[in-house]
Chains A and B, each alone.
Chain A
């Protein structure tokens, strides 16, 4: 937790993908929660202005009064707009506006908000909208680290490759000639059975095409949909493979070594077969 007077800047992490529907918001919610569980004060910002979703996944949609755009336009203060998560200590959400569009975001406005948040928080997670246009570029512009969420299929991989190019050329770090953004690959909706039958790209295929370090592989799981509908980040579901895989990814993000798991086709046990499960 940040002590008063701690001047170290917060680490800004963008969760991005290019393609839509690959699990950016689910991953932002899970990873943000995971980092907060480790005792770091964390805020997740929803950059998807006009298609507000993060608050639903986090289960705080009824508590949204002011949003990110209100803060940029100085219609509300940060403390008015920030929503404190009820389950996880040290976790906050800055929701997007549902009634505006991406043009409401300005580089100066976003920078001011991030600087303000930097004083309070250890980690700032930017949940990027899909696409490569203004909204996505705003979300990644100030990032120190990028988590590129990819599904094991060709169009998602191609779009991730495109967004990696943008991270290298259109971010503040790239423009300032500074140390480039640290890139991580997060493979989601991985289905070992379909990989084995050749319907899906394997971890090795995707790593070969994108050539960036692998942060984690999240198996396709019913628990993800269930968690989204309940408004609970899936990482809190320690019974599910997806929840455990996200926790592994957070551990790796914090520099710990964790072996990859849930990559093999699971053989049905005797009891399961007996019950026809």
Chain B
């Protein structure tokens, strides 16, 4: 521990990028809301960056601030914005949220002036440090019925079946010690290491960190048998247990 009482560290977080092409507030909000309603837990408090670099026409500061407020009101956490570095709007410096470097571009120098001369190899890459706090697993002993939805912030362990038409979600792993007939979404906050384990694979959909597979595809790999689902190089793998 240093005398300053804190440590500065770099950290990488997965965020959602909202790439605005044309500014039509009602359309954006309507379609965004539609997407959120499909997987509400996935979007709840999720960090999001608003990118206006692909906009054909400009946008005023007022319009932009309204957009930020509206997106926040849908339960998303707007952590920054991006624009084309060659045509930063004149009002760029007045925006209340941080301007992030454009994707694939080299990170710009640390935005905060440091007292000491910064060592040239220190680059502050991200704005938010996400701490991984171990969450206790949620244990469910009764069947999850059609129409029910269960979400766990850590791992989700179900000692019964998940019926067709039910949905189970977890930030971590999902274990189903029964038949998995509904939908299972692990790593909904972007954890690509999350896995799904089940005693009998009969799922409508399985997903890890947003990569999903439907029952049609699953039936050709493992069906009505023990299976685990994991993510290898951005593609789902279904492995018999």
Contact = CB atoms under 8 A, between A and B. Distances in A.
Contacts of B181: 209
Contacts of A180: 142
A164 interface: yes
Main secondary structure of the interface of B (DSSP, over half): loop
Interface residues of A, number: 14
A165 interface: yes
Contact of B163 (A132, A166, A209): A209
A162 B166 CA distance: 9
A84 interface: no
Interface string A156-198: 0011011011101100000000001000000000000000000
B164 A161 contact: yes
B143 A211 contact: yes
Contact of A168 (B145, B161, B178): B145
Contact of B146 (A161, A208, A211): A161
Contact of A161 (B142, B165, B178, B179): B165
B102 to A, nearest CB: 47
Interface residues of B, number: 16
Contacts of B145: 161-162, 164-165, 168
* Residue among A132, A161, A211 facing the most chain B CB atoms (10 A cut-off): A161
* Residue among A132, A158, A165, A169 facing the most chain B CB atoms (10 A cut-off): A165
Contacts of B178: 211
A162 to B, nearest CB: 4
5 contacts: A161-B163, A165-B144, A168-B145, A211-B143, A211-B178
Interface of B: 142-148, 160-161, 163-166, 178-179, 181
Which 5 residue pairs are nearest across A and B when measured between Cβ atoms? A165-B145, A161-B146, A162-B146, A165-B148, A162-B147
Interface of A: 132, 158-159, 161-162, 164-166, 168-169, 180, 208-209, 211
